[in-house]
Structures are given as structure tokens and as C-alpha cells.
Amino acid sequence: MSYYFNEDHQLFRSSLRDFLEKEVRPNVRQYEADGEIPRSLYHRFGEMGYLGLGFPEKYGGLNLDIWYSVVFIEELCRMNSGGLSAAIWAHPGLALTHILAEGNEKQKEKYLPSGILGKSIGCLAITEPFGGSDVQALRTTAIKDGDHYIVNGSKTFITNGVNSDYIVTAVKTAPENKMISMLIIERDRKGVSATKLDKLGWRASDTGEIAFDEVRVPVENLLGAEDAGFFYIMQHFVSERLGMALQGLAYSEYALEVTLKYVNERTAFGRKINRFQVLRHRIAQMASEIEMNKAFIYSLYQRYADGDYLVKEASMAKLLATQLNDKVATECLQMFGGYGFMEDYPMARMFRDARLGQIGGGTSEILCEIISKIMIDQVNYKTPINKNK
């Protein structure tokens, strides 16, 4: 029984699950070894309609309610590859989301239909080598020169940063400017180069460092208004953080599921290890925390769908669910004993992938900053552009 998912959502879930089990699960280890997912996978997802679930029909989307996207994220996480989820999700969830919200008709025509089909892939580049948390301090500049911007600077830790076709980039139109603007930069422009980074987890995604060297970008590539970028970013952080919260939750649920199975099969001292009270109580505690996070996150998706202002709550949800994922990954791995450390079992990958949760999309410390500013200093992050209202 669910207050949120109806019969149609459930049908979608089971068909999506079949698809993922058949076409994705067998290849996950290959993607992890390759350090990226193949283009053809985006195409398949596009063909199936999965990249345009919530997008308007006009651009080839399915215009479905938010719960389909929730199902999509949850099921994708069951593949137990943070890199896979990130690579898939960064495209519609970050890049296309910015374009849909702030893009003009021409930009939407150019990027949405092909993006939804999985033919062209985007990424979102905010973080720089000099600073990630302090977004307003970023240094990449886009100086106007006639009908072009000349872009100089670099971005790092960018998901899909190597293989994507275009980069939705946060820039400043003057070095001394405090305000941020968003610019779409095509990969094939002269002066754009990228290096793939080697990392602890999320191995199936190509996380890149991108350099811009005198890149000429037409002014028509500006996304939304000049200097309004920070507000756009803040606004989209809500859906991004809810998404990350949901991922933290979904991985935790999956970890518990596989662990319940394992402790029911493994024996020690002549009995199933699920007979040991300490393990049982640890499982009960985790299950409770998972249920709690779930009720919280679903309640926020409901409010999000209804257009509520959720900067504080989305930060709270991401904070808690990514902490939960770290804890669950650690404790579930423990219950697998030595097998927990082996790549043949699911917990090793989940353990290293989970570690990113508290860093990406705003660190836990930054989330606490936001929450305490709202709660203690009565700061209001509401902006006139809150389109959801």
C-alpha cells in the first residue's frame, strides 16, 4: 500500500526493473572497468523514454508526474553503481533541467528533443579547482567581445565532463563580478579540453576536469539572464538535492535487501548468522532509519510537486539520507565479513560509491550552513524566479 504510487506507477516500476535487469545489470562491471558508460546506453534509455519522463511532450518528453522520476531514480540505484546512476542522471537531471527552465525556445529546440532521445548528452559544470563549496567565488570568465563571449578558466569534478557534447557552464561576465551567468558551451569549440579523473568510487562515470582556453562562444548561448545564474543554481539545487537524498535512500534500501538475503544464507557457529541478536538489532535499527528517511523524502516530493518552497527541507533530506547511506554501507559490509571486501559481492562497490554522497551536490557542512542560516538567521533563499510556485 502506498500513498504516493498508484497502479500505473507500479507497472512502470516492474517494466523498468525488467529492462534494467536484462539490459543493464549484466554490463555494470564492464562499465565500472571502462570508467564510463557507452553512448549506446543513453540511446537505449532515450528510446525507452526514460530520459524524458517529466519533460513536456512538445520536446519528445512523456510529461509524466514526479513519481515516475522517483521510480526511475530508485530503480536505477538498484543496479548498485553510483557512477552509472550519476552518468545517466546528470544529463536529464542537471543539464536538461537547466535548459528546460531557463532556456529560450531556440535552445530548447536544439537540446531537448535530441537530449531526451539520448542522442546528445549534456553536463553541468559549476565546481572549479579553486573552490566548490563557495560557488560565488568561482573564477571562470566569459568576457563579451561583440556577439561572442571569450571564455577562460577551468572546471573540475564534472560528471559527464569528458564524453558529453555540451557543457552548461557557470561563468562570470567580468572578473570582479560577484554574479554568475550560465552559458552553454559546445564540446567541439576550439579551446575546450578535458581530462578524465581517477577516483575512489563512482567508477562508471567519466568525471572530468575541463579547461577553457580563449573559447569563443556566441552570446545566444547564454542561458536565461546575465548575472542570474546563482539563483538558477540555488533553485535547481532543490531538485538536485532531493534526487541525491532519494539515491542515498535507494542505495540503503538495496543494501539492506541484499544483506537480509545474505544473513539468511550464511552460517557460523552452526546457525544462520541472522540468528545473532546483535546483527538482528543492527538490521532493525537500519530498517527503521531507512523507513524514516523514506517517509520524509516522499513527503518532500509531494510538496515539491505541489510547488512548495523547500530549500531547507531538501538540504535536510540530502544531509540525512547520504549520512544514512554511508552508515548502512559500512554496517552491511560488516555483515558480509570477508566477502564484503570482495568485488564479487555488492557491498564493496556500494561502500566506496556511498562516500561521495556527503561531498557532491553540496557537502554536509554546506547543507548545515544553509539550514542554520535559514533556521537561526532567518535568511530567505526564496527568489522571484521560483517557477515552481
Partner 1 sequence: MNNYYFTEEHNLFRESLRTFLHKEVMPNIDQWEEDQRIPRDVWKKMGDMGFLGLSYPSQYGGMELDFFYDVIFTEETSKMFSGGFTITQLVVQYMSSTYILKYGSEKLKAKYLPGIISGELISAVGISEPGAGSDVANIQTKAIREGEHYVVNGSKTFITNGVYGDFIVTVVKTDPSKGPAGVSLLVIDRNAEGVSATKLKKLGWHSSDTAELAFDNVKVPVENLVGEEGQGFYYLMGGLQLERLVGGVSAYSGCEAIMGYTLQYMSERSAFGRPINRFQVLRHRMAQLASEIEACKQFVLYCARLHNDGKYAVKECSMAKLLATELSDKTAYQCLQNFGGYGFMEEYKVARMFRDSRVGTIGGGTSEIMREIIAKMIIDDVSYEAASQPSSNGAVANGKSENGLSLDQILNGIQSKAADAKPLGKTLKFDFGNEQLFIDGTGEKNAVSKDNKEADCSVDVSFEDFVALTKGKLNPMNAVMSGKIKIKGDMGVAMKLQSLFG
Ligand X SMILES: Cc1cc2nc3c(=O)[nH]c(=O)nc-3n(C[C@H](O)[C@H](O)[C@H](O)COP(=O)(O)OP(=O)(O)OC[C@H]3O[C@@H](n4cnc5c(N)ncnc54)[C@H](O)[C@@H]3O)c2cc1C
Catalytic residues: 240
Told to check if 325 binds partner 1 by CB under 8 A, we report no
The residue within the footprint of partner 1, chosen from 285, 343, 380, 382 (CB under 8 A), is: 285
- Is 359 one of the binding residues for partner 1 (CB under 8 A)? no
Residue 40 CB neighbours (<10 A): 9
20 vs 356 by CB, closer to ligand X: 356
How crowded is residue 281: how many other Cβ atoms within 10 Å of its Cβ? Answer: 10
Can residue 292 be called a binding residue for partner 1 (CB under 8 A)? yes
Non-local (6+) Cβ contacts of 258 within 8 A are 332, 346, 347
**Under rule CB under 6 A, which residues in 7-36 are in contact with ligand X?**
none
Q: Comparing C-alpha atoms, which of 324, 246, 243, 238 is closest to residue 288?
A: 324
Question: Which of partner 1, ligand X, none does residue 284 bind (CB under 5 to 8 Å by kind)?
Answer: partner 1
Residue 316 interacts with which of partner 1, ligand X, none, CB < 5 to 8 Å by class: partner 1
Minimum CB distance to ligand X, residue 295 (Å): 25
225 binds, among partner 1, ligand X, none (CB under 5 to 8 A by kind): none
Main-chain phi, psi angles of 305, to 5 degrees: -60, -30
Q: Answer yes or no whether residue 11 interacts with partner 1 by CB under 8 A.
A: yes
37 near partner 1, rule: CB under 8 A: no
Q: Does 295 bind partner 1 (CB under 8 A)?
A: yes
Q: Per CB under 6 A, does 369 bind ligand X? A: yes
Question: Does 386 sit near partner 1 (CB under 8 A)?
Answer: no
Q: Name the segment binding partner 1 (CB under 8 A); options: 107-115, 139-147, 164-172, 303-311.
A: 303-311
Among the listed residues 75, 289, 331, 353, the single contact to partner 1 using CB under 8 A: 289
| Non-local CB neighbours of 58 within 8 Å, separated by 6+ positions | none
By CB under 8 A, how many residues form the interface with partner 1?
Answer: 42
- Any contact of residue 357 with ligand X (CB under 6 A)? no
Among positions 219, 234, 258, 287, the unique one binding partner 1 when judged by CB under 8 A = 287
Place of cell 561531498: 359
Residue 239 touches ligand X, criterion: CB under 6 A: no
Distance in angstroms (rounded) separating the CA atoms of residues 87 and 202: 9
Binds ligand X (CB under 6 A): choice among 68, 89, 111, 202: 202
Residue 200 and residue 295: Cα distance in Å, rounded?
Answer: 31
Per residue in 183-217, is it b (16+ CB within 10 Å) or e — as a string?
bbbebebeebebeeeeeebbbbbbbbbbbbeebeb
Nearer to ligand X, 13 or 155 (CB): 155
Using the rule CB under 8 A, which residue among 114, 152, 177, 302 binds partner 1?
302
Among 29, 60, 152, 296, binds partner 1 (CB under 8 A): 296
* Footprint on this chain of partner 1 (rule: CB under 8 A): 1, 3, 7, 10-11, 14, 260, 263-264, 274, 280-281, 283-285, 287-289, 291-293, 295-296, 299, 302-303, 306, 308, 313, 315-317, 319-320, 365, 367-369, 371-372, 375-376
* Footprint on this chain of ligand X (rule: CB under 6 A): 90, 123-127, 131-133, 157-159, 199, 202, 207, 356, 359-363, 365-366, 369
